[in-house]
Amino acid sequence: MLLFPNCKINLGLKITGKRADGYHNILTVFFPVPFNDGLEIIDNKDLTEGIELTQSGIPISGEQKDNLCIKAWQLLKNDFPKLPSVKLHLHKAIPMGAGLGGGSADGAATLLLLNQKYLLNLTESQLLSYALQLGSDCPFFIINQPCLASGRGEQLQPIQLNLKGYQLVIVNPGIHVNTGWAFSQLNLPANTTNDDLVAIQSLSSIILDDMNHWKDELINDFEQAVFEKFPEIDWIKKSLYKNGAVYASMSGSGSSVFGLFKANEIPNFNFPSNYLVFSTLL
């Protein structure tokens, strides 16, 4: 059984404070993008217990036991002891440390695959609960439609946001931005509850307003610190605007930057050959 986990971009990203549990409260819009990894699962008849993960595409750093695909299998195995051993193959195309949520998408896709293949009959609510145990933005990839996100990112409100007719261009310079470092650069109040309905309604109003207003109103709080440390990322955003983007922003804590262009106004870019550039008509 095969799935193609997609990534996401953040339309605006406000960090409203640090929580007592160590996490951060955010306010953003997650928007799914058809830039995909590949994930396949088969029975592992050679292994009586456990999970075997093989990889291709972009190399994945870190220890394999920390991979969210393995952690997703372990979560379900704890509650479904009869879950058999499996082989997973992950083809990685979405860059890591890029603000696109590729690892989270893979973890969520593993939950979906195991639920489908082994007829676990998990509801969406149950899948969301498992996904949150993997990471704050993993639940989004269970819903996988435009959502206003608050709390840790797990409080999701689907919204009607149609960007049909726009060309999306994502540029990744191959820089890994550490998310923990990015959070440490923000001057945040402590122990907030993120129950500010006014702020949520304000973001919703901006998103549903004319996109020409987004440039001045839809801000990513991480950009200032990231741009200061990595001027190359700042240059990418300026280049997208210089070439006619209606809206451009860094996604998540970076390093990917995206631009939205009118479909008939796509320029020819001259980014360095080592950059990953992805473009799709929404």
Residue 267 belongs to domain with CATH number: 3.30.70.890
Looking at the structure, do residues 189 and 62 belong to the same domain, yes or no? Answer: no
- Out of 136, 158, 180, pick the residue that ends a domain: 158
Identify the pLDDT of residue 94: 96
DSSP state of 225: H
Looking at the structure, do residues 177 and 274 belong to the same domain, yes or no? Answer: yes
Catalytic (active site) residue 234: no
Residue 120 phi/psi, 5° resolution?
A: -80, -15
What's the CA gap between 64 and 165, in Å, rounded? Answer: 40
- Out of 124, 142, 158, pick the residue that ends a domain: 158
Looking at the structure, do residues 154 and 174 belong to the same domain, yes or no? Answer: no
Identify the pLDDT of residue 196: 65
Q: What are the C-alpha distances in Å from 131 to residues 45, 68, 138, 196?
A: 27, 10, 5, 25
CATH classification of the domain holding 105: 3.30.230.10
Looking at the structure, do residues 15 and 142 belong to the same domain, yes or no? Answer: yes
* Residues sharing a CB contact under 8 Å with residue 60, sequence separation 6 or more, in sequence order: 67, 90, 92, 96
Catalytic residue among 106, 137, 221, 237: 137
Identify the pLDDT of residue 267: 80
Looking at the structure, do residues 199 and 130 belong to the same domain, yes or no? Answer: no
Catalytic residue among 8, 14, 77, 237: 8
Looking at the structure, do residues 115 and 199 belong to the same domain, yes or no? Answer: no
Cα 109–chain centre separation: 13
Looking at the structure, do residues 18 and 116 belong to the same domain, yes or no? Answer: yes
Task: Tell whether 210 is covered by a domain.
Answer: no
Identify the pLDDT of residue 192: 55
Task: Tell whether 212 is covered by a domain.
Answer: no
Range of the domain at 92: 2-158
Task: Tell whether 244 is covered by a domain.
Answer: yes
Task: Tell whether 17 is covered by a domain.
Answer: yes
Instruction: Judge if pTM exceeds 0.85.
Output: yes
Task: Tell whether 242 is covered by a domain.
Answer: yes
Looking at the structure, do residues 145 and 10 belong to the same domain, yes or no? Answer: yes
Per-residue burial over 81-120, b = 16 or more CB atoms within 10 Å of its CB, e = otherwise: eebebbbbbbebbbbebbbbbbbbbbbbbbbbbbbeebee
Looking at the structure, do residues 147 and 223 belong to the same domain, yes or no? Answer: no
Task: Tell whether 61 is covered by a domain.
Answer: yes
Looking at the structure, do residues 173 and 229 belong to the same domain, yes or no? Answer: yes
Amino acid at the residue 269 = F
- Indicate the number of domains in the chain: 2
Element (H, E) at 61: none
Looking at the structure, do residues 141 and 29 belong to the same domain, yes or no? Answer: yes
Report pLDDT digits (tens) over 103-112. Answer: 999 999 999 9
- Out of 158, 182, 197, pick the residue that ends a domain: 158
Q: Which residues of the chain have pLDDT under 50?
A: none
Identify the pLDDT of residue 194: 54
Q: Residues 221, 187: contact at Cβ < 8 Å?
A: no
Q: What are the C-alpha distances in Å from 5 to residues 19, 38, 91, 92?
A: 30, 6, 10, 10
DSSP state of 50: S
Identify the pLDDT of residue 17: 82
Identify the pLDDT of residue 190: 59
Task: Tell whether 213 is covered by a domain.
Answer: no
Task: Tell whether 211 is covered by a domain.
Answer: no
Looking at the structure, do residues 145 and 260 belong to the same domain, yes or no? Answer: no
Report pLDDT digits (tens) over 125-156. Answer: 999 999 999 999 999 999 999 999 999 899 99
Catalytic (active site) residue 79: no
Amino acid at the residue 260 = L
